[in-house]
Amino acid sequence: MSCRDAVLYYLERIHRLSHLNVFVHIYEKESLETADRLDRERTAGKKTGRLHGVVIGIKDVICYRDHPVTAGSKILEGFSSLYHATAVDRLLEEGAIIIGHLNCDEFAMGSSNENSIYGRVKNALDPEKVAGGSSGGSAVAVQASLCMVSLGSDTGGSVRQPADFCGVIGLKPTYGRISRYGLIAYASSFDQIGIFGKNIPDLALILEIISGFDPRDATSSRSLVPAYVEGLRLKAEGSRHKPEGTPDNTPSTVNRHPSTYRIAVLKEALEHPSLDPEIRAKIQDFISDLRLKGYQVQEISFDLLDFIVPAYYILTTAEASSNLSRFDGVRYGRRTADPEAGFPEFYLKSRSEGFGKEVKRRILLGTFVLSAGYYEAYFSKAQKVRKILTERTKLIFNEFDIILTPTVPTTAFKAGEKSTDPVAMYLADLYTVYANLVGIPGISLPFFTHTNGMPFGVQAMTNQFRELYLLQFSDELMQQYKSYEIPTL
Ligand code: GLN
């Protein structure tokens, strides 16, 4: 089919399923024009890019030059990006078509996509239920086939958790793997762009294209980007040799026997009282089955679990309070219309009017934990927890290649169910924030269906920069276990 046909297909679905509230901006005319250009170029014999005609949606925190970007917030109302995020630049260079910006929690703060100025995103499998957050729009866009793949951002689970709730795959790479340039900051030492898709090869391709060093992001890694796509293919074929002339970054991967994967399961994670008993039972059965298939799976004790969520919420709110100070009604977006507001009321008013409740809560909390009297008791302590976690993680990866946990303690909940209890909402991030605290990659694989009808996943994590290994392992599991089947919508 032509690129135009592909875009028309998705546009029809986007309009038909608009009640799901997935897109905040649809670039209809422009997508069709890009598609026509790509079709013309192909017909004229021009070499096509690796993402020729791939229709992609991006989260409303990722900059796309001359297009609005609002982070789901009133404070950025009317703001247009002045430049492309590096990830967007790299997608476009390969012939991708960006069809629109996707709804999310305000400044990516949330686990249910209920904190968006545009209203909540509905889970296509049950519109009464939340899509997860903060990248709820990105998850449902893939779930409901409103685009082929999508980008989100993951500071504490915002890709993996909504993927789990929606029955799709969500990958958060190693911190520094993908440039954060042009990603609106929430907590800079945690933030990472992530990818949603329905199969591993798609994720591998997007990851390969958008990863890599970027002089505009000092925290982006200089480590070589492996040829993820080729690495997956070689493994699937069981090839042990590099074909002649393959570039140096092509992994000479082998078709591993299951027993060569050393998998750790965190005992405290499976025993945690907040874990839904049916999710526990199904993950336990899954683990037993992995063992039967020959995988080496070992339960290990991880007594730091209860420190993870508090440390995460102290450190991320501290970073957020600092990052969000730039939204002052002068340099970006919206300012108060009150003509009487002088200095400094002008700032107060612009920020009070522009930020939503959850964002305010976090700015206050972050400012508090950084304040002189409480810095040692909260911020420093949380930093120490982060250091201890990093050291412990190193020890685990000395002995194991993969850590397995549930992705989320429950399946998608009813809208409104947790919105009055922020602590309950924060606790739902129990299993995902760990990867961000220690900077490792994590993926959620949608293998299970709850008797309540909703899907859920299992999370696999590896050591830093072992995305290829993670993708190979995930692909192998995807071949062996039936992935959740999304009904036709
Ligand atoms: N739910 C977490 C939070 O609210 C994660 C958010 C994210 O990853 N952006 O902070």
pLDDT digits (tens, 9 = 90+) for 157-201: 999 999 999 999 999 999 999 999 999 999 999 999 999 999 999
- pLDDT (0 to 100) of residue 254: 55
Task: Please give the distance, rounded to the nearest whole angstrom, from the Cα atom of residue 8 to the centre of ligand 1.
Answer: 33
DSSP 215: T
The rounded Cα 284 to chain-centroid distance in angstroms is 25
Q: Among 134, 165, 362, which is best to mutate for testing ligand 1, by the most ligand atoms less than 8 A from CB?
A: 134
- pLDDT (0 to 100) of residue 25: 98
Assign 93 a pLDDT band (cuts: 50, 70, 90): very high
Q: What is the Rg, in whole angstroms, of the alpha carbon atoms belonging to the chain?
A: 22
Residue ID of nearest Cα to ligand 1 atom 10: 109
CB atoms within 10 A of CB 71: 28
Cβ atoms of residues 86 and 451 within 8 Å: no
Residue ID of nearest Cα to ligand 1 atom 4: 110
Over 60: is that where the pLDDT of 484 sits? yes
Beta bridge partners of 412: none
What is the arithmetic mean of pLDDT over 406-421? 96
What is the arithmetic mean of pLDDT over 357-382? 97
Assign 348 a pLDDT band (cuts: 50, 70, 90): very high
Task: Give the angle 11-411-170 at the CA atoms, nearest 5°.
Answer: 50
What is the arithmetic mean of pLDDT over 222-232? 97
- pLDDT (0 to 100) of residue 239: 52
What is the arithmetic mean of pLDDT over 429-450? 98
Angstrom distance (rounded) from CA 48 to CA 431: 41
Closest CA to 20 of 51, 52, 57, 69: 57
Cβ atoms of residues 134 and 91 within 8 Å: no
Kindly tell me the sign of the dihedral angle through the C-alpha atoms of 249, 250, 252, 255: positive
Cβ atoms of residues 70 and 37 within 8 Å: no
The rounded Cα 362 to chain-centroid distance in angstroms is 20
Range list of H helices, 255-304: 267-271, 277-292
DSSP 250: S
Task: Please give the distance, rounded to the nearest whole angstrom, from the Cα atom of residue 134 to the centre of ligand 1.
Answer: 6
DSSP count for the chain of H helices, then E strands:
16, 13
User: Which residues, including other chains, have CB under 8 Å from residue 280's CB and lie 6 or more apart?
Assistant: 270, 406
Cβ atoms of residues 402 and 396 within 8 Å: no
Task: Please give the distance, rounded to the nearest whole angstrom, from the Cα atom of residue 273 to the centre of ligand 1.
Answer: 21
User: Which residues, including other chains, have CB under 8 Å from residue 465's CB and lie 6 or more apart?
Assistant: 174, 177, 221, 223, 441
Look up residue 139 and give its amino acid. Answer: A
φ, ψ for residue 307 (rounded to 5)? -90, -10
CB atoms within 10 A of CB 116: 26
Over 90: is that where the pLDDT of 352 sits? yes
Task: Please give the distance, rounded to the nearest whole angstrom, from the Cα atom of residue 352 to the centre of ligand 1.
Answer: 22
Over 90: is that where the pLDDT of 244 sits? no
Look up residue 368 and give its amino acid. Answer: F
Catalytic residue annotation: 59, 134, 158
Strands 296-300 and 402-406: unpaired
What is the arithmetic mean of pLDDT over 206-213? 98
pLDDT digits (tens, 9 = 90+) for 110-124: 999 999 999 999 999
- pLDDT (0 to 100) of residue 166: 98
Kindly tell me the sign of the dihedral angle through the C-alpha atoms of 331, 333, 338, 339: positive
- pLDDT (0 to 100) of residue 334: 87
Task: Please give the distance, rounded to the nearest whole angstrom, from the Cα atom of residue 115 to the centre of ligand 1.
Answer: 11
> Which stretches does DSSP call E strand in 313-441?
402-406
What is the arithmetic mean of pLDDT over 266-285? 97
Task: Please give the distance, rounded to the nearest whole angstrom, from the Cα atom of residue 459 to the centre of ligand 1.
Answer: 16
- pLDDT (0 to 100) of residue 343: 87
Over 80: is that where the pLDDT of 468 sits? yes
Pocket of ligand 1 (CB under 6 A): 108-111, 134, 153-158, 186, 316, 429
Residue with tokens 């340039």: 181
pLDDT digits (tens, 9 = 90+) for 7-43: 999 999 999 999 999 999 999 999 999 999 999 999 9
CB atoms within 10 A of CB 404: 23
Average pLDDT, the chain: 95
Cβ atoms of residues 232 and 206 within 8 Å: no
User: Can you give the pTM of this predicted structure?
Assistant: 0.96
Angstrom distance (rounded) from CA 32 to CA 6: 9
Residue with tokens 């001359």: 66
- pLDDT (0 to 100) of residue 194: 98
Angstrom distance (rounded) from CA 38 to CA 471: 30
Over 70: is that where the pLDDT of 439 sits? yes
Residue with tokens 């002189």: 372
Angstrom distance (rounded) from CA 334 to CA 71: 13
**328 token code pair:** 């002052």
Cβ atoms of residues 103 and 126 within 8 Å: no
What is the arithmetic mean of pLDDT over 1-5? 97
Task: Please give the distance, rounded to the nearest whole angstrom, from the Cα atom of residue 431 to the centre of ligand 1.
Answer: 12
Task: Please give the distance, rounded to the nearest whole angstrom, from the Cα atom of residue 259 to the centre of ligand 1.
Answer: 35
pLDDT digits (tens, 9 = 90+) for 248-258: 565 555 567 88
What is the arithmetic mean of pLDDT over 442-448? 98
- pLDDT (0 to 100) of residue 259: 78
Angstrom distance (rounded) from CA 51 to CA 89: 12
Three-class SS of residue 370?
helix
- pLDDT (0 to 100) of residue 236: 84
CB atoms within 10 A of CB 416: 12
Give per-residue burial for 349-362: e unless 16+ CB within 10 Å, then b: bbbeebbbebbeeb
How many residues belong to the chain? 489
pLDDT digits (tens, 9 = 90+) for 48-88: 999 999 999 999 999 999 999 999 999 999 999 999 999 99
Over 70: is that where the pLDDT of 354 sits? yes
